[in-house]
Structures are given as C-alpha cells and as structure tokens.
Chains A and B, each alone.
Chain A
Amino acid sequence: MNATVAEAIAMRDVFISETARLLDDNPRLALVLADISAGEGRFAQAGVDHPDRVINVGIREQLMVGVAGGLALAGLRPIAHSYAPFLVERAFEQVKLDFGHQGTSGILVSVGASYDWSEGGYTHFSPRDVALFDTIPGWTVHVPGHPDEVTGPLRAAADSDESVYIRLSNRRNAEAHASPDGKLTVLKRGGQATVVAVGPMLDNVLAATADLDVTIAYAATVRPFDTQTLRELAGTTADTIALVEPYLAGTSDHIVNAALTDRPHRLLSLGVGREDLHRFGTPDDHDSWHGLDPAGIRASLSKFLSV
C-alpha cells in the first residue's frame, strides 16, 4: 500500500538535504525558491550558508523560473523548486522559453505530484506535468517511487548540462528498485502481458497482479523512456502491454506506440483521469476514484486480459 505524508523521511527531505550538500560542494549550483520549502527545517540553513546561490523570490513563480534561466545564462547550474502546479503549469511559458530556447538548461524539482495533498484539492493537483514536458524538446524526467531513488538523479542532474525534471511525491513503494542508468527494472516474468509501473504506482501494481501471469517492469525514469527493454519484454508477452502511470492516463502512449510501429500490439493505459472531481479525502481515496488502487488496477487488467 502507498504510504502518505506521515512517513518519516519523505522524498522532499532527501532532496533538501542532498541539495544542501551539493550546494556546499559545487560552487556552480544555485537554488531558486518561491517560498515553498524555504523555511526552517527546509532550505533556511542553506540560504544562510550560501546567500548568493540560494535565492527566494517570494511567491512569484514566473520570476522564479525566469531567474533560474538567467542564472543559467550567467553560467550557473540552477535548480528551481515548488509545488508541481505552480512550477510547471503556472510558469509553463518560462519553462518553455527561458531554458532550451535560450540555449541553456536547468533542473526543476516539484513536490505535490498528482494529488499528494488531497485535502488541498484541485488547485494543488498536477497530473498533467509530464504530458506538458512532452510538448518541448530535450527534458529528462524522473519519477522516483521511493526516497532512496532521489539522490542518484539529483546528483547526476547537478553534474550534467541537461534539462531535468524530478517529480517528487509523498507516496512511496516499500522498496527502492530504480536502475541507476534509467532503464526499466524487471521485477517479475510472466507470459500474458508486460505491465510497466511508473514510480509510486509500483506497490499497487504488485498487489493487483500477485496471482497474474504477467511481467512487471518498473520505471523511475520516463523521459527518455527505455523503449529498448520495453520492446524486448513485450516480445515475450505477445506484444500485450499495460502502462500504469501516476499522472494523466495515456501520457506515455505516444512513446510506446512509436516504439512498436513495426509490430501489432495491444496497449492498456492506466493513470489519472482528466476530471475535476471536486473532492478531497486522502491520496488513497483518489487512487480509488481514478482506478489506481489495487482493486481498480486488477479490474482493468482482468478485463484487458480476459482473465
């Protein structure tokens, strides 16, 4: 089962402590905030330690992303961080124009995922962020499913000159499985379908498929998507594939379909629906309403596989 906010060490805690270390070690790294995560116990100490490279612009997300782009133009390696809807959607034109179009790059790290703060409601939900990154070129996208899967991509991003989006969540799987090279991790082999679980969806997928004859592959890096392994796995399951993504259902359809244009294949896409449900409750409730709890995933797979 997915755990929620109560977990002791959340992905955000790992991001904050690791970024503070990276700021100590790497004079090229800079962090731009818009009040989120700027307080005591978050990035306040890093701001004291590195006043020139930890910049809190206040509640100004367009400015936050634009400043990150300007830091990159000055030769620094910027990280911008906020809740996913404010970081990616509110400031999307800045994401589009202030990095790649300028010939530079940056690191964006979100919290909140699709509906982590379920009590907060629709204004704080961002199930469409990964789909938005698919509309602009060159972004690497990591969707960790466990706090231990945050440090690797973050360090790699800090050392690279790529544009990287890291989508943190309060949800987590019981164990970390991410492969360090961004490839799919095969957790189980079966014959009827290749089921790809993305990030925090894994434990629900494992619970839903315990008695099914399916291959389970885990993805914590989704852009670029490991289509080579997917093709190999799908070839052993009659090119029958199910994708279970913690963001908009169908977000990665175009990649799977493009990877298999030369082979007839069947694809089931599970993920978050587009509706504004006007509901609160818990993240587990939202899993259930979007058919992403173990029972919902099982029901969709049973229908798809006629089992």
Chain B
Amino acid sequence: MTATFETARQLAQRTVVDPRYPINTYTLDPLWVLYDRILRIDSADPDDPNRDRFYLSKGHGPGSYYAVLAAKGFIPADWLDSVAATESPLGAHPDTTRVPGVEISAGSLGHGLPLGIGTALGLTAQGIHAPRVYVLIGDAELDEGSNHEAMAFAGAYGLGNLTTLVVDNHSATHGWPGGIASRFTAQGWTATTVGITDHDGLASALTRHTKAAPHAVIATVED
C-alpha cells in the first residue's frame, strides 16, 4: 500500500498523548513533501552513505515526524500509540540512537544547523557529492545565536549542498521585521518563501537551489 498525506495525517493523530495538546499539524505538510518528493532516502537502506540527510533541529512536538517515518516504513506504526511510554523509543524529542531514520537527537534549539554544516562539509571532504543536507528549524528557534553563526559561515563559504527549511508560525517573541528570507539572502544564501500547505510550491522551493550557495526555504503558516 502506498502511503498518502492522509495516511500520514491519521498516523500523526495516534501520537497525541493528551488531547489538550494536539499535534502541530503545520509541520506535517513540509515533512510529508520532503519525505514523499524530495529526500533520496530508502527505509530499506537507511545507512546508505549516499543518502540525503534530514536533520530535524526543532525537536519539539515530533508527532508529525514520527508519523511520516512510520508512513514511509522507517518505524512500525504501532510505535505511535505509546509515545514517551516507559519502554518507547519515541520521546517528546527524537533520539537518533533509538529511532531508525532519525539522523540527529534534538530538543535543545540551535544545534541542527551547525551539525548540518559539519555533515555537508564532511560529505564533500569524502568526495560524496550527490546528497544534500536538509535542516528544519522553527522561526522562534532562529532566535538562538548558534544559528546566526551558522548562517553567516555557510553563506560566506558558499556551502552549496545545504538547505535550511524554516517553518514560520510567527512564534518568535520579537518577530523578524522585514521577513526571515532577508536574513539569509543578506549572508549570501538563496531563499524562497512559500505557504506551508502548498505542497507543489514547497516541492518547487525545495529544488530551487544552486550549486554555489546554501538555500533557505521559509514555509509560512497562515494566521
């Protein structure tokens, strides 16, 4: 059976531990587009050195992430029914050492982009040029200074095998006057802004990179 976006949405509902805290469904859209249309990753060969890398830096509320991993065959769907239970490998933040397909342990904000830069550099240094490294961060996560160290370096370096996807649900306390994309383009990145539920638009934005610069996609949640 081929999983659809609706399959993933229903799977995500199974991760809800407490109905007062529903899943962050807005993250499901870009995750689905990434795993369904962009990432070259095979759940049957999850350690292939030539695979694309996807780093979920924003480790919070990973129900959608777990659902997509289940829909794509990385983890059994029945794991979704016991998130954060005593023996569950699925926590409220993902742990790379416990979940097949999860590339980094996340939770503390601002670690994914520096890790992604290191991996992008490390792949190139080994002559592995096919994969891209994709890092998903949140607009509030962008507050963390480590991201700004990373954005400045990656832009100046011209790190062409890196894409950052910023999920912008307008949660940054002081906002980003002038928009998030300009923060990236000022530092030498290419950037595209797209509505988060527009799957064709997301897929197009996620392939609009050049080989000479890192690329940012800002996926905005409608208020």
Report A's interface with B, CB cutoff 8 A: 27, 30, 32, 52-53, 55, 57-58, 60, 62-63, 65-76, 78, 93-94, 97-98, 101-103
B150 at the A/B interface (Cβ < 8 Å)? yes
Question: Would you call A102 and B105 a contact (CB within 8 A)?
Answer: yes
With a CB–CB cut-off of 8 A, which chain A residues contact B117? 63, 66-67, 70
Question: Would you call B115 and A63 a contact (CB within 8 A)?
Answer: no
Q: A69-B115, A70-B115, A103-B96 given. 14 additional CB < 8 A pairs? A: A30-B122, A32-B118, A55-B121, A60-B153, A62-B114, A63-B117, A70-B120, A70-B122, A73-B53, A73-B103, A73-B119, A75-B126, A98-B111, A102-B97
B123 at the A/B interface (Cβ < 8 Å)? yes
How many B residues have CB within 8 A of the partner chain? 31
B104 at the A/B interface (Cβ < 8 Å)? yes
With a CB–CB cut-off of 8 A, which chain B residues contact A71? 118-119, 121-122, 125
B149 at the A/B interface (Cβ < 8 Å)? yes
B136-159 near A? 1/0 per residue, CB < 8 Å: 000000000110011011000000
Question: Would you call A76 and B125 a contact (CB within 8 A)?
Answer: yes
With a CB–CB cut-off of 8 A, which chain B residues contact A101? 105
Measured between alpha carbons, how far is A156 from B123 in the docked complex, in Å? Answer: 24
Closest Cβ–Cβ distance, residue B26 to chain A (whole Å): 26
Closest Cβ–Cβ distance, residue B38 to chain A (whole Å): 20
Name 11 A/B residue pairs within 8 A (Cβ), A-sorted: A30-B125, A62-B114, A66-B114, A66-B115, A66-B118, A70-B120, A71-B118, A73-B103, A74-B121, A74-B122, A98-B115
Report B's interface with A, CB cutoff 8 A: 49, 53, 96-97, 103-105, 108, 110-111, 113-126, 128, 145-146, 149-150, 152-153
Question: Would you call A98 and B114 a contact (CB within 8 A)?
Answer: yes
| Interface of B: prevailing SS | helix
Closest B residue, CB atoms, query A58: B153
With a CB–CB cut-off of 8 A, which chain B residues contact A70? 114-122
How many A-B residue contacts, CB cutoff 8 Å? 104
With a CB–CB cut-off of 8 A, which chain B residues contact A57? 149, 153
Question: Would you call B122 and A102 a contact (CB within 8 A)?
Answer: no
Closest B residue, CB atoms, query A66: B114
Measured between alpha carbons, how far is A97 from B104 in the docked complex, in Å? Answer: 10
With a CB–CB cut-off of 8 A, which chain A residues contact B120? 70
Question: Would you call A102 and B96 a contact (CB within 8 A)?
Answer: yes
Closest Cβ–Cβ distance, residue B191 to chain A (whole Å): 20
Closest Cβ–Cβ distance, residue A293 to chain B (whole Å): 40
With a CB–CB cut-off of 8 A, which chain B residues contact A53? 125
Question: Would you call A76 and B153 a contact (CB within 8 A)?
Answer: no
Question: Would you call B126 and A76 a contact (CB within 8 A)?
Answer: yes
Question: Would you call B114 and A63 a contact (CB within 8 A)?
Answer: yes
Closest Cβ–Cβ distance, residue A213 to chain B (whole Å): 52
Measured between alpha carbons, how far is A62 from B112 in the docked complex, in Å? Answer: 12
